[in-house]
Structure 1
Amino acid sequence: MIDPKKSGGILQSTSKRVRMIFSVMASPNRIDILRILNSKGPLTYSELKSLAGFKSKKESGKFAYHLRKLLRQSLVALNKSERRYTITNLGKLVLSLARQIEERSIIESGKMYVRTSHESIEEFNSHKIIQSLVREGSLPLELAQKITEEVENRIYKYQTTYLTGSLIREMVNSVLLEHGHEEYRNKLARLGMPVFDIQEMLTNVDNIDNGAQGLFFKSGQTIFAESLLLNALPKDVADSHLSGDIHISNPGIWSLLPDTIFFNIKELIEDGIDLKGKFLGVSRLATIKTLDNLMSSLSMIVSLASKEASREIIMDGLVQLCAKHAKNVTELEEKLVAALVTSSTSSKYTKEPTLVSFRIELGAEPKLVGAILNAYKNYVKMTPVPQVGLIIDYSAGKVSDVSQTISEIISIGGKVLFSKDETSYSGITRIKAKNSTSSINLQSLTINLPRLAFESNKDETYFRARLALLMKPALAAMSLRKKDISDLTRRGLNPVLAANTQYMQRSSVGLVVNLVGLKEAVFNILGYSDDKEGRDIIYKVLQTAVDVAEKKGKEMGDSVIVTMTESDGIARFSSLDGDKYGKMSVLKSLDTEFYSQGVLVLASEMDSLNAKSEKIADANKTAKILNGGLLVQLRFERDSKVEEIKKAIEKAGDLVGSFRPSKDVPICGNCGFKDEKLFEKCPSCKSPYIIS
Structure 2
Amino acid sequence: MKDMRAMAALPIQAKTCVLKNNGIYEKFSYEKIVKSCLMVGASLWAAEKIATDVATAVYNGISTAEIKILVHDSLKKIDGKAAGKYLAANQLKVRTTRDTIEPFDKSKIEKTLIVETHASEDLAGEIATDACKELKKLDVEYLTAPMIREIVNTKLVEHGLETLRRKYTRVGIPVYNITNLIKNGSRDNANMIHNPETVHKYVADEALKQYALLHILPNELADAHMGGDIHIHDLEFFAGRPINCLQHDLRVFIKNGLKVDGTGDHTSVAGPPNHIETLMNHTGEIMLAAQQNMSGGQSMSLWNVFVAPFAAGLPYEKVKQAVQMLIYNLNMAYAARGSQVPFTSINLEFTVPDFLKDEPAYGPKGKRVGTYGDFEEETRLLQRAFTETLLDGDSEGKPHLFPNTIYVLRKECLKEEFDEDIRRVHELSAKFGTSYFINMLPDYRGNLANYMGCRTSLNDDWTGDWSQDCFRTGNLAYVTLNLPRIAYNSKDDSDIFEYLDSYLNLAEQTLMLRREQALNCLNDYNLLPFLSQRPNDEDGTYYRIENSTMSFGFVGLNEMLRSYLGAGIEDKGANEFGLRVVDYINERAAKLKDETGLRWSVLQTPAESTAYRFATLDMEKYRDKIIAQGDEKTAYYTNSSHVPVNADILLPEKVKIESQYHSKTLGGHIFHAFMGESYSDPDALMSLTDKIARKSDIGFWAYSSALSFCLKCKTLMKGLQDNCATCGEQKEVEWYDRITGYVQQVGRSKSASGGWNPGKMQELLDRKRF
Whole-angstrom distance in 2 between the partners of 1:201 and 1:310: 22
Aligned to 2:413: 397
Q: Which has the larger radius of gyration?
A: 1
Aligned 1:202-351 pairs, distance under 5 A? 202-204=182-184, 209-255=193-239, 256-275=241-260, 282-326=267-311, 327-344=314-331, 345=333, 347-349=335-337
Aligned to 2:73: none
Distance 1:670-1:353 versus aligned 2 partners, 3 A rule? farther
Q: Secondary structure at the match of 1:309?
A: coil
Distance 1:300-1:237 versus aligned 2 partners, 3 A rule? same
Aligned to 1:595: 638
Aligned 1:613-692 pairs, distance under 5 A? 615-643=654-682, 644-654=684-694, 655=696, 656-668=698-710, 674-676=716-718, 679-682=721-724, 686=729, 688-690=731-733, 691-692=735-736
2:578 counterpart of 1:538: yes
464-473 vs 544-553, which deviates more?
544-553
Whole-angstrom distance in 2 between the partners of 1:335 and 1:684: 36
Q: Secondary structure at the match of 1:586?
A: coil
Q: Secondary structure at the match of 2:627?
A: helix
Distance 1:229-1:400 versus aligned 2 partners, 3 A rule? farther
TM-score norm. by structure 1 comes to 0.66
CA apart distance, 1:468: 1.4
Distance 1:296-1:424 versus aligned 2 partners, 3 A rule? closer
CA apart distance, 1:670: 7.9
Aligned to 2:429: 410
Do the aligned partners of 1:273 and 1:496 also contact (CA within 8 Å) in 2? no
CA apart distance, 1:635: 1.6
Do the aligned partners of 1:635 and 1:663 also contact (CA within 8 Å) in 2? yes
CA apart distance, 1:448: 1.1
Aligned to 2:139: 180
Structure with greater helix share of residues? 1
Q: Secondary structure at the match of 1:660?
A: strand
Distance 1:554-1:689 versus aligned 2 partners, 3 A rule? farther
Aligned to 1:440: 474
Whole-angstrom distance in 1 between the partners of 2:672 and 2:546: 31
CA apart distance, 1:659: 1.7
Whole-angstrom distance in 2 between the partners of 1:455 and 1:589: 22
Aligned 1:355-434 pairs, distance under 5 A? 355-364=343-352, 365=376, 366-379=380-393, 386-395=401-410, 396-398=412-414, 400=419, 402-413=421-432, 415-419=434-438, 420=440, 421-430=449-458, 432=460
Whole-angstrom distance in 2 between the partners of 1:535 and 1:410: 30
Q: Given residue 306 of structure 1, which amino acid in structure 2 is its aligned partner?
A: Q
Q: Secondary structure at the match of 2:663?
A: helix
CA apart distance, 1:186: 12
Aligned 1:30-69 pairs, distance under 5 A? none
- When the two structures are aligned, how many residues end up with a matched partner? 514
Q: Given residue 505 of structure 2, which amino acid in structure 1 is its aligned partner?
A: K
Q: Secondary structure at the match of 1:464?
A: helix
Distance 1:276-1:204 versus aligned 2 partners, 3 A rule? closer
Whole-angstrom distance in 1 between the partners of 2:309 and 2:708: 39
Whole-angstrom distance in 2 between the partners of 1:185 and 1:269: 51
Aligned to 2:179: 199
CA apart distance, 1:268: 2.6
CA apart distance, 1:244: 1.2
Structure 1 residue ranges without an equivalent (≥5):
1-173
Deviation per residue, 1:512-539 (Å, 9 max, x gap): 1111211221234333575543332122
Whole-angstrom distance in 1 between the partners of 2:226 and 2:339: 20
Deviation per residue, 1:24-44 (Å, 9 max, x gap): xxxxxxxxxxxxxxxxxxxxx
Distance 1:469-1:443 versus aligned 2 partners, 3 A rule? same
Whole-angstrom distance in 2 between the partners of 1:597 and 1:373: 31
Do the aligned partners of 1:604 and 1:636 also contact (CA within 8 Å) in 2? no
Aligned to 1:576: 617
Deviation per residue, 1:115-155 (Å, 9 max, x gap): xxxxxxxxxxxxxxxxxxxxxxxxxxxxxxxxxxxxxxxxx
Do the aligned partners of 1:193 and 1:222 also contact (CA within 8 Å) in 2? yes
CA apart distance, 1:355: 2.2
2:483 to 449, 460, 483: 449
Do the aligned partners of 1:546 and 1:627 also contact (CA within 8 Å) in 2? no
1:525 to 551, 564, 569: 564
Whole-angstrom distance in 2 between the partners of 1:589 and 1:219: 30
CA apart distance, 1:506: 5.6
Do the aligned partners of 1:666 and 1:679 also contact (CA within 8 Å) in 2? yes
Q: Given residue 544 of structure 1, which amino acid in structure 2 is its aligned partner?
A: Y
1:461 to 477, 494, 498: 494
Do the aligned partners of 1:388 and 1:415 also contact (CA within 8 Å) in 2? no
Do the aligned partners of 2:457 and 2:475 also contact (CA within 8 Å) in 1? no
- Over the residues paired in the alignment, what is the CA RMSD in angstroms? 3.9
Aligned to 1:480: 513
TM-score norm. by structure 2 comes to 0.59
CA apart distance, 1:495: 2.5
Distance 1:465-1:607 versus aligned 2 partners, 3 A rule? closer
404-413 vs 261-270, which deviates more?
404-413
Aligned to 2:128: none
Do the aligned partners of 1:362 and 1:393 also contact (CA within 8 Å) in 2? yes
Do the aligned partners of 2:238 and 2:517 also contact (CA within 8 Å) in 1? no
Whole-angstrom distance in 2 between the partners of 1:603 and 1:417: 22
Structure 2 residue ranges without an equivalent (≥5):
1-132, 151-169, 353-375, 441-448, 737-770
Higher RCO structure (Cα 8 Å, ≥6 apart):
2
CA apart distance, 1:476: 1.4
Whole-angstrom distance in 1 between the partners of 2:479 and 2:559: 19
Whole-angstrom distance in 2 between the partners of 1:309 and 1:684: 44
Do the aligned partners of 1:403 and 1:650 also contact (CA within 8 Å) in 2? no
Do the aligned partners of 2:707 and 2:717 also contact (CA within 8 Å) in 1? yes
Q: Given residue 371 of structure 1, which amino acid in structure 2 is its aligned partner?
A: A
Aligned to 2:360: none
Distance 1:640-1:618 versus aligned 2 partners, 3 A rule? same
Whole-angstrom distance in 2 between the partners of 1:608 and 1:179: 59
Aligned to 2:591: 551
Do the aligned partners of 1:565 and 1:631 also contact (CA within 8 Å) in 2? no
Distance 1:293-1:603 versus aligned 2 partners, 3 A rule? farther
Q: Given residue 623 of structure 2, which amino acid in structure 1 is its aligned partner?
A: G
Whole-angstrom distance in 2 between the partners of 1:640 and 1:461: 50
Deviation per residue, 1:147-181 (Å, 9 max, x gap): xxxxxxxxxxxxxxxxxxxxxxxxxxx99995637
Distance 1:506-1:228 versus aligned 2 partners, 3 A rule? closer
Whole-angstrom distance in 2 between the partners of 1:642 and 1:280: 53
Whole-angstrom distance in 2 between the partners of 1:585 and 1:185: 27
Whole-angstrom distance in 2 between the partners of 1:516 and 1:673: 37
CA apart distance, 1:639: 2.6
Aligned to 1:563: 603
Q: Given residue 247 of structure 1, which amino acid in structure 2 is its aligned partner?
A: H
Whole-angstrom distance in 1 between the partners of 2:340 and 2:617: 23
Distance 1:606-1:329 versus aligned 2 partners, 3 A rule? farther
Whole-angstrom distance in 2 between the partners of 1:686 and 1:185: 48
CA apart distance, 1:206: 10
Do the aligned partners of 1:553 and 1:560 also contact (CA within 8 Å) in 2? yes
Distance 1:608-1:386 versus aligned 2 partners, 3 A rule? closer
Q: Secondary structure at the match of 2:432?
A: coil
Percentage identity across aligned positions? 18
